[in-house]
């Protein structure tokens, strides 16, 4: 748990200590300490606040993901003040969660991220990307990243960017769940992405999916 607010960490620890299957192996008050503890304990998941003194959560996320690729990072955010959540996904975070989330949702999020999936609820993803796109300094689309993808793989990538699970992608495209998983796996490999969270970033940065749009640009 990495958060500069002691009460926040205490609340999360109290919740997790009473839940089977969870163990808090360390608490950090800033990004530098989070990286040190992650190196020491090699946890399944680091719950990372963005706004911390000294080394912030964005830099810490980048460092943890680079040094410990097997460790997943779940970013905590409040949309009113955090400007760096999209950058955290680019740095390798596997998902993000609102700080005022329901405890049941937190437990679900930790399980999802721990098993290697990305936590990308469609409504939250859309809100995040719309904020990113509204900034004057946001990146121009780069369509070159999509050249290696087939038309079907572009469809799958667009659906991943919308927050759909493999089963939902299968239902939408009228294919089997196994086929959907294969398509997602091939897209990950072709784009060199760490996980589904980075696929979302690539989908928006490449211009395949646009905030507020409904049809992918292929």
- Is the CB of residue 16 less than 8 Å from the CB of residue 24? yes
Among residues of the chain, what percentage have pLDDT more than 70?
A: 80
Please determine, for residue 50, whether its predicted confidence score (pLDDT) is greater than 80.
yes
Please determine, for residue 137, whether its predicted confidence score (pLDDT) is greater than 80.
no
Please give the pLDDT value at position 126: 59
Nearest to 208 by CA among 218, 198, 199, 200: 218
The helix (run of H) or strand (run of E) holding residue 188 is: helix 177-191
Please determine, for residue 140, whether its predicted confidence score (pLDDT) is greater than 60.
no
- State mean pLDDT over 41-53: 93
Please give the pLDDT value at position 216: 44
180-218: b (≥16 Cβ within 10 Å) or e: beebbebbbebbebbbbbbbbbbbbbbbbbbeeeeebee
- State mean pLDDT over 142-167: 85
Write out pLDDT tens, residues 171-204: 999 999 999 999 999 999 998 887 777 787 788 7
- State mean pLDDT over 156-167: 86
Average pLDDT value over all residues in the chain: 82
Please give the pLDDT value at position 215: 42
Strands 95-98 and 72-77: parallel
Range from 15-29, 98-112, 173-187 carrying the lowest mean pLDDT? 98-112
- State mean pLDDT over 31-57: 94
Of residues 28 and 106, more confidence is placed in 28
Of residues 97 and 56, more confidence is placed in 56
């Amino acid at each position: 748990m990495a958060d500069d607010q002691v009460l926040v960490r205490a609340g999360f620890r109290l919740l997790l200590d009473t839940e089977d299957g969870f163990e808090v192996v360390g608490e950090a008050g800033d990004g530098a300490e989070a990286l040190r503890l992650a190196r020491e304990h090699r946890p399944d998941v680091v719950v990372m606040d963005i706004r911390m003194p000294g080394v912030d959560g964005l830099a810490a996320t980048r460092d943890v993901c680079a040094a410990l690729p097997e460790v997943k990072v779940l970013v905590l955010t409040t949309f009113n003040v955090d400007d760096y959540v999209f950058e955290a996904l680019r740095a390798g975070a596997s998902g993000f969660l609102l700080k005022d989330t329901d405890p049941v949702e937190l437990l679900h999020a930790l399980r999802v991220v721990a098993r290697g999936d990305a936590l990308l609820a469609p409504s939250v993803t859309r809100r995040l990307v719309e904020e990113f796109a509204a900034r004057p300094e946001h990146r121009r689309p780069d369509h070159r990243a999509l050249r290696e993808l087939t038309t079907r793989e572009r469809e799958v990538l667009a659906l991943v960017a919308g927050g759909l699970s493999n089963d939902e992608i299968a239902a939408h495209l009228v294919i089997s769940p196994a086929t959907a998983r294969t398509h997602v796996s091939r897209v990950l490999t072709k784009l060199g992405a760490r996980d589904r969270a980075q696929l979302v970033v690539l989908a928006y940065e490449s211009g395949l999916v646009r905030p507020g749009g409904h049809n992918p640009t292929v």
